[in-house]
């Protein structure tokens, strides 16, 4: 499994309500995205930044989802370039599901 961290600036005049409305608007698309296990939206009003932590089956899926078209969309919508980092995710503790999920080595 791979955790992808995505962060980008939003315009200073964009309200929290507008940011959250944007999150709600794209949520159905992400629910229908193959290989995406979980997406956690984040927002920092003081820094005027938003983004997400994504849990993916693999890095190739993350890179497909956040290709050039997606990056252009962020630039056109928010006027900023997203920062993206990838982390190997060997283990996830999920208290809601009451599970510990372990990645399959090499999978």
Q: What is the pTM of this model?
A: 0.91
Can you give the pLDDT at residue 106?
65
For residue 50, the tally of other CB atoms under 10 A from its CB is 24
Q: Do the beta carbons of residue 9 and residue 59 sit within 8 Å? A: no
Task: State pLDDT tens for residues 5-57.
Answer: 999 999 999 999 999 999 999 999 999 999 999 999 999 999 999 999 999 99
Domain 2-102: which CATH class?
A: alpha beta
Residue 107 has pLDDT above 60, yes or no: no
- Sign of the torsion angle spanned by Cα atoms 6, 11, 13, 18: negative
What is the Cα Rg of the chain in Å? 15
Task: State pLDDT tens for residues 79-104.
Answer: 999 999 999 999 999 999 999 999 88
């Amino acid at each position: 499994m791979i955790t992808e961290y995505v962060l980008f600036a939003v315009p200073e005049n964009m309200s929290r309500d507008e940011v959250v409305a944007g999150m709600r608007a794209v949520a159905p698309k992400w629910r229908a995205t193959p290989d995406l296990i979980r997406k956690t939206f984040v927002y920092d009003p003081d820094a005027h930044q938003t983004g997400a932590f994504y849990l993916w089956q693999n890095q190739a899926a993350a890179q497909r989802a956040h290709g050039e078209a997606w990056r252009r969309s962020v630039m056109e919508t928010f006027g900023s370039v997203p920062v993206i980092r990838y982390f190997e995710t060997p283990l996830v503790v999920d208290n809601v599901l009451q599970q510990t999920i372990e990645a399959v080595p090499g999978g």
